Amino acid sequence: MSTFAALMKPLEIKGVRLPNRIVFPPTVTNYADAEGKVTERLIRYYREIARHGVGLTVVGATAIARAGNLFPLCSRIDGDEYLEGLSRLFSAIREAGSVPAVQLAHAGRQTSQKMTGEQPVAPSPIPCPVWKDLPRELSAPEIEKVEDDFAEGTRKAKLAGAAMVELHGAHGYLINQFLSPNSNHRTDHYGGSLENRARFARNILHKTRARVGSDYPIICRISAEEFMEGGLTLSETREIAALLVENGVDIISVSAGVAASRPLRDQYMKQGRFWELAGEIKQAIPRTPVIAVGKILDLATAEKVMESQGVELIAICRALIADPEMVTKSLEGKADEIIRCIECGNCTASLVKDDLTMQCSVNAGL
């Protein structure tokens, strides 16, 4: 029986002690209510994940503004009315033995007027091939307001009890849209060169640090490759990762792809390409912890990826949705009792069906 010693080793980030190297990454569940407030179902979901050996539990896809809603029933953090529910959620995660964090996001063009009540916004008026709504180009003052919203969201998250935040700079959402030459065709100081395209992210970090101080841990999730013509490639995202670290990011979470490249993204994920991308980003920021992700369905694979790619943290998602007890069962030598993810994709497909909430084909208890 393996003890998975490398995975079980604690890690400290700016005074926050993670009991092990396993991360439950941010996921879209649609378990919030119609106003974006935390529900008992959302608390139950994360508590169950957190109480079975996960070191860091990241609450997913929390919008910093109504216009930034990623999905119809995603949680929000743009008003004080959301803090009580978020505080209960973070407390539940902490009491279950895991460290609570929250991902802050703005959908940008990857949403719809039907969902937000207004025309989507973006760096440039270029529609997402999947969502199709024509977005309105943000003015410079509007961009500054969104930067402020991210910073204020982080302040509120800290106030509510999140031990750290993750800025969603991946998967084609607004921060990613500014970084990418595919979606950012601006000619002002927010567009053109990589330095200019990264200005939005850099300003968010500076404004955030002004509100929460230098000792509060910040994660940033990036797409190391967009897998689409004219999009970000590894050569640029290595530079982006280093720039983010220089401007106050403490952990880089490495994913890949955007909404429009999902079929190719899923193909590369199955082939282990995401793991290699995490290793490549790690080489660009050798002194900064990196989270690897991508169809890591058991602890043996998790430890293999951590060791082969030189990363510090491993995100396990679908395997824990299928069986929240996967980690403890593995550690106790009960691997034969694990309910395995069957890789059917229902956890994502269900978000646009029936009642819109996340479902799992092998876990009816969600």
- Span 149-155, average pLDDT: 99
* DSSP-derived pairing of the beta strands 290-292 and 218-223: unpaired
Residue with more model confidence, 263 or 298: 298
Across the range 224-253, mean pLDDT stands at 98
Q: What is the pLDDT of residue 173?
A: 98
Q: Locate 161 and state its tokens.
A: 């009890």
Phi, psi of 338 (to 5 degrees): -70, 135
* pLDDT tens, residue by residue, 33-45: 999 999 999 999 9
- pLDDT tier at 167, thresholds 50, 70, 90: very high
pLDDT of residue 348: 84
Q: Is a pLDDT exceeding 80 seen at residue 277?
A: yes
b/e 260-282 (16+ beta carbons within 10 angstroms → b): bbbebbeebbeebbbbbbbbbbb
8 Å CB contact between 253 and 315? yes
Residue 329 has pLDDT above 90, yes or no: yes
Ranges 52-66, 171-185, 341-355: which has the least confidence: 341-355
pLDDT tier, 268 (very low <50, low <70, confident <90, very high otherwise): confident
State what percent of residues in the chain have pLDDT above 90.
Answer: 90
Place of tokens 């990011």: 249
Other Cβ atoms less than 10 A from the Cβ of 35: the count is 12
Q: Is 173 among the residues known to form the active site?
A: yes
pLDDT value at 1 more than 60: no
For residue range 175-214, list pLDDT tens digits in order: 999 999 999 999 999 999 999 999 999 999 999 999 999 9
- CA geometry: angle 219, 171, 36, nearest 5 deg: 75
Instruction: Write out pLDDT tens, residues 7-22.
Output: 999 999 999 999 999 9
What is the model's pLDDT at position 156? 99
Residue 198 dihedral angles phi and psi, to the nearest 5°: -90, 0
Given 46, 173, 190, 268, the catalytic residue: 173
* Cα angle, residue 241 at apex, residues 235 and 242 outer, rounded to 5°: 95
- The residue-averaged pLDDT of 258-267 equals 83
Chain CA centroid to CA 269, Å: 16
What average pLDDT is seen over the chain? 96
pLDDT for 183: 98
Give how far Cα 72 sits from Cα of 39, 175, 262, Å.
14, 20, 20
Least confident of 130-134, 237-241, 274-278: 130-134
Task: Flag whether pLDDT at 102 surpasses 80.
Answer: yes
Enumerate domains of the chain plus CATH numbers.
Answer: 5-352 (3.20.20.70)
